[in-house]
Chain A
Amino acid sequence: MASQANIQELEKVASQVRRDIVRMVHAVQSGHPGGSLGCTDFMVALYFHVLKHDKSFNPDGKNEDLFFLSNGHISPVWYSVLAHAGYFEVSELATFRKINSRLQGHPTPEEGLPGIRVASGSLGQGLSVALGAAQTKKLNKDNSLVFALLGDGELQEGQVWEAAMYAAHHNVDNIIATIDLNGQQIDGSTKQVMDLKDIKAKWQAFGWDVIESDGNNMDEIVKCLEHAKSLTGKGKPIVNLMKTEMGAGVDFMMGSHKWHGIAPSDEQLADALDQLEETIGDY
């Protein structure tokens, strides 16, 4: 269990990660701040409290928990969290999306960035990869867990449902998938673009154990992930339907799909940074 002090520490890290995100995206005037900010609390909770992981990074990931980011466009939050967790120097965040950088627009293991095990960006593929890794863990008698994060717009990709069907059929019960339900995608709200209707009923019908959470409440997200872990090993895959606010933490970025993939101006950056406390140091 996380104490109140733990939660406050995690919130401090989250504030710093949010500063990094807006600064990284501003510096190259490209990237995806909205979803990154929305998933910051989840990513911080995962890497700083939930995952059993080794920052010295072994690509094979034996006997440690693994995380796969399917919606690879929210790379800024992942890079910042990995850096603060010790996978690489925080100063490297300044190279995001620049030529010769290991911090590609979308994550890849090809440039050798510690913490990344598979490329993502083309949507809909990450859950399949995570399930494969989870099944290898079973074959290897490795009791650690596999986590995956998917966007909600991404659920429009058919492969996600191929994977969902497979997981329940094969009783892959060492996986915890989280869906970032921010209700937004590039062309508008998910409701307008392609209504996902009753997502909970869909996952239940596919045979998953469904839990729900508020992804922008650190206390709740920590509890939810701890609860999710307690559900593993019972024959069913677990999905966490996590409501978030796109752009969470920066008032003018919240509540709209507009900030999915655009960068703040100099003035907007200053405004955003005024709202986000520097806690463990800017890169």
Chain B
Amino acid sequence: MAATKYTYTEQKDTRSGFGDGLLEVAKKNENVVGLCADLTGSLKMGDFQKEFPERFYQTGIAEANMMGLAAGMTIGGKIPYTGTFANFSTGRVYDQIRQSIAYSEKNVKICASHAGLTLGEDGATHQILEDIGMMRMLPNMTVINPCDYNQTKAATIAIADHHGPVYLRFGRPKVPIFTSADQPFEIGKAIKMIEGSDVTIFATGHLVWEAVEAEAILREKGISVELINIHTIKPIDAEAIIASAKKTGCVVTAEEHQKNGGLGDAVANVLAENLPTPQQYVAVDDQFGESGKPAELMTKYGLDAQHIVIAAEKAIERKK
């Protein structure tokens, strides 16, 4: 295999990016407060809790109350970051988020770990694959799914300066750190990772690294790939999507989420209305996950680099 255009020396979980980012932003901004529903260790909120005990609120296993508390804490200027698993951050509390946070335009940062299949062995009860869809349907909501430790840390810090509700999604497993430690994080701005001309891969979250590997495989086959990291799924960077689709003529979307409602649909919305373009989805196809090792699950459910390669070849085929 040809060398990937991005390399790494260390692997780390994106949730640690959140935990470290939270500590850093809390040092800079005294209005940042944290809430956690009995998952402080899993969310990596322990350092924040230790450093700022008076700004940390343990809610117990009561996520609905946590969302309401967070909404109320914004009244008087606080910036609450809630922490629990992605499943309990969205599906369990959809109505609380909808009424008390999104409709009420409250400045709450919903920080969600263990999203998707890579949660692994705990199985489908915890492997939420519908969260991006639920959150991007809500008016006023911003939806962010960074790709590695550094980007998650940068996003965690950046969202404090954005006034309004944010859903920040990250995960459990250790994954390559391949973006820079000092990157600026601009909400809503897609990042062109690799310039190419035959096909565009729009990837988000853990699938960005898979796409980096897929690009190397496709390059060896003589295919020129443009890779764009869509860390912000809402508001989506329509301009970047249209410009790249215009150049390459076909696209692949790659995400650790259901095909329904996620990044793929967000990109399809943009292209259908502006520039109808052949598109292949790399996503979970209307199924629940199961127990297993993260890498095994990503292969079984069609979310790895090999599946991105197949999708890219299909997309190119459809151009003809």
Could you tell me the distance between the alpha carbons of A117 and B57 in the complex, rounded to whole angstroms?
A: 22
User: Across the two chains, which residue of chain B brings its CB closest to A62?
Assistant: B76
Interchain CB contact under 8 A, B62 and A165: yes
CB within 8 Å of A: which B36-91 residues: 54-55, 57, 59-60, 62, 64-78, 80
**Are A163 and B65 CB-contacts (below 8 A) given A132-B71, A132-B75, A133-B75?**
yes
Could you tell me the distance between the alpha carbons of A131 and B100 in the complex, rounded to whole angstroms?
A: 13
Interchain CB contact under 8 A, A110 and B104: yes
Interchain CB contact under 8 A, A119 and B73: no
B29 contacts chain A at the CB level, 8 A cutoff = no
Contact flags B298-311 to A (C-beta < 8 A → 1, else 0): 00000000000000
CB within 8 Å of B: which A116-145 residues: 117-122, 124-137, 139-140, 142
Provide a sorted-by-A list of 10 A–B residue pairs whose CB atoms are within 8 angstroms.
Answer: A118-B71, A120-B99, A125-B95, A125-B96, A126-B68, A132-B68, A132-B69, A132-B70, A139-B54, A140-B77
* B83 nearest CB across to chain A (Å): 15
B257 contacts chain A at the CB level, 8 A cutoff = no
By a CB distance below 8 angstroms, the chain B residues around A129 are: 68-69, 71-72, 100
B6 contacts chain A at the CB level, 8 A cutoff = no
Interchain CB contact under 8 A, B60 and A110: no
By a CB distance below 8 angstroms, the chain B residues around A127 are: 68
* A240 nearest CB across to chain B (Å): 19
B105 contacts chain A at the CB level, 8 A cutoff = yes
Interchain CB contact under 8 A, B69 and A125: no
Interchain CB contact under 8 A, B68 and A109: no
Most chain B CB neighbours (cut-off 10 Å) among A124, A135, A142: A135
Interchain CB contact under 8 A, A108 and B103: yes
Interface of A toward B, CB cutoff 8 Å: 59-62, 66, 68, 108-110, 117-122, 124-137, 139-140, 142, 158-159, 162-163, 165-166, 169-170
Could you tell me the distance between the alpha carbons of A126 and B33 in the complex, rounded to whole angstroms?
A: 20
Could you tell me the distance between the alpha carbons of A62 and B71 in the complex, rounded to whole angstroms?
A: 16
**Are A128 and B73 CB-contacts (below 8 A) given A108-B103, A119-B100, A139-B54?**
no
Could you tell me the distance between the alpha carbons of A60 and B75 in the complex, rounded to whole angstroms?
A: 5
Could you tell me the distance between the alpha carbons of A154 and B33 in the complex, rounded to whole angstroms?
A: 29
* B56 nearest CB across to chain A (Å): 11
Beyond A126-B68, A137-B76, 13 additional contacts (C-beta under 8 Å) are A59-B75, A60-B76, A61-B75, A109-B104, A118-B106, A119-B103, A125-B99, A128-B67, A131-B72, A132-B68, A136-B73, A136-B74, A142-B76
User: Across the two chains, which residue of chain A brings its CB closest to B64?
Assistant: A159
* A120 nearest CB across to chain B (Å): 7
By a CB distance below 8 angstroms, the chain B residues around A128 are: 64-69, 71-72, 96, 100
Interchain CB contact under 8 A, B100 and A125: yes
* A126 nearest CB across to chain B (Å): 8
Could you tell me the distance between the alpha carbons of A232 and B62 in the complex, rounded to whole angstroms?
A: 25
Could you tell me the distance between the alpha carbons of A209 and B295 in the complex, rounded to whole angstroms?
A: 53
By a CB distance below 8 angstroms, the chain A residues around B62 are: 159, 162, 165-166
Could you tell me the distance between the alpha carbons of A128 and B103 in the complex, rounded to whole angstroms?
A: 16
Interchain CB contact under 8 A, B68 and A125: yes
**Are A122 and B99 CB-contacts (below 8 A) given A60-B76, A108-B104?**
yes
By a CB distance below 8 angstroms, the chain A residues around B33 are: 139
By a CB distance below 8 angstroms, the chain A residues around B96 are: 125, 128, 159
